[in-house]
Amino acid sequence: MTEASKSSRAPDKLAFLLSLVPYLMDHERIGVAAVAAHFGVSATRVREAVNLIAVSGVPGETRQYQHGDLFDIQWDEFEDNDVIVLTHLVAIDDAPRFSAREAAALIAGLQYLSSLPENADQGAIASLMAKLTRGASATPSQLAVAKSESTDAITVIRAAVGNNVQVEFDYVNSRGGQEHRRVDPLRIESVDRDWYLRGWCHLREAVRTFRLDRMSALTATDAPSGDHGAGLTLPDTLFESTAEDLSVVIELPEPGLALIADYAPEFPVTHVGGERVRTTLRVAHFHGLKRLVTRLAGLVTVIEPAEARDTVARWAEEGAAQYDAPALPPAEA
């Protein structure tokens, strides 16, 4: 082997070693053949790497390598049974670790991802959660993430996309009316905790966006989806205004504009003092403001028209009144 070819393999060897040590730490006892199959390398290369690990370490105070300064393995198991068992680690335990709270937050996020249909069968997420638990500075708090209400709908829609068929459902629109829709599903997207279907609506003969939690009686049909081809381009913004939409002027801190970018991408912004700015939204109905105001509680003020202000004010008053309602008497035993 030439010097050039040896040099070209050096980064690969280092990358393999850096991946191998954490893998062996996660498997207290594992055969060489299993390690070779996991990394897609030969058993000989695994044995060479293990021998190299066993003479690696960090020098102690004497600047010399003493017994406790090197990695170590159970040599009898390795030489007689071709099994790798790490018995001593060097420097690894001194690496910075996540706090118990940080690990718990990351695990909660991974639990949410694992609840989604496209991730439900992936063992990698479970393995990563286990690593976070073992690697935290203390035992993370036990958390349970509720299954998304839209999970079943996502499953139906993804199956329909895979089979290239239409879906149909009853839908409560932003004005509170209920309609039956038949749609060619094109894309599923999420904004915060809400999921949306974007597809070609046969009722409107145009691309429309539907919130999954407003759907009911969702089913995949036997009718094939239309061939929309390159002539159909989905817009970058999730919410598209129509000629029937209503204009609403709101006021909020300027940094909050990024939070309403989907609602007001093309309207000018006016500074009204300090960090406060005003801009215009387009909504299908004034009742649609309720969710926006809730999501940005304390930030958004509805300025005009008066009907929009009254709609939001009445809704807030009705919600506040619930806290003033007398408690129900305890049930008799």
CATH of the domain at 38: 1.10.10
pLDDT tens-digit series, residues 73-88? 888 888 899 999 888 7
Q: Is residue 329 part of a domain?
A: no
Among 118, 146, 174, give the residue marking a domain's end: 146
Specify if 328 maps to a domain. Answer: no
Looking up residue 266, the CATH number of its domain turns out to be: 3.30.70
Nearest-Å Rg of the Cα atoms of the chain is: 29
What residues contact 164, with CB distance under 8 A and at least 6 apart?
224, 225
Residues 78, 135, single domain; the answer is: no
| pLDDT confidence bin for 27, thresholds 50/70/90 | confident
Closest CA to 209 of 217, 197, 200: 197
Taking only the tens place, the pLDDT of each residue in 224-262 is: 998 876 667 776 666 666 667 788 899 989 888 877 776
Residue 306 lies in a domain: yes
**Overall average pLDDT of the 34-42 stretch:** 90
87 and 107 part of one domain: no
Residues 31 and 106 in one domain: no
* Number of domains making up the chain: 4
Shared domain for 182 and 118, answered yes or no, is no
CB 301 within 8 A of CB 252: yes
The answer to whether residue 238 sits within a structural domain is no
90 and 7 together in one domain: yes
| Confidence grade of residue 319 (pLDDT, cut at 50, 70, 90) | confident
Domain assignment present for residue 122? The answer is yes
Closest by Cα among 54, 102, 104, 58 to 79 = 54
Give mean pLDDT, residues 79-105.
73
- H-helix segments, 249-305: 289-295
Burial of 153 (0-12, 13-18, 19+ CB in 10 A): buried
317 shares a domain with 252: yes
Of 46 and 150, which is predicted with more confidence? Answer: 46
Percent of the chain clearing pLDDT 70 (strictly above): 68
pLDDT given for residue 7 in this prediction: 41
For residues 213 and 198, membership in a common domain is answered with yes
Render pLDDT for 140-191 as a digit per residue (tens, 0 to 9): 766 655 555 567 888 898 889 889 999 999 998 766 678 999 999 988 887 6
Q: 260, 281 in Cβ contact below 8 A? A: yes
Which domain-ending residue is among 94, 112, 132? 94
CATH value at residue 200: 2.30.30
Domain boundary among 231, 260, 293: 231
Residue 211 is assigned to a structural domain of this protein: yes
Q: Choose between 141 and 65: higher pLDDT.
A: 141
Residues 125 and 194 placed together within one structural domain of the fold: no
User: What range defines the domain where residue 28 resides?
Assistant: 3-94
**82 & 102 share domain:** no
CA distance 315 to 140: 40
Residue 332 lies in a domain: no
**Whole-prediction pTM:** 0.47
Domain-embedded: residue 330: no
Q: What is the pLDDT of residue 167?
A: 95
CA atoms within 13 A on the CB side of 71: 21
Rounded distance, CA 272 to CA 248, Å?
17
Residue 169 CB burial class (10 angstroms; 0-12, 13-18, ≥19): buried
- Do both 61 and 110 map to the same domain? no
Same domain for 250 and 209, yes or no, is: no
Tell how strand 83-84 and strand 30-31 pair up: antiparallel
At CA 31, angle to CA 35 and CA 9, rounded to 5? 35
Q: Are 190 and 156 found together in one domain?
A: yes
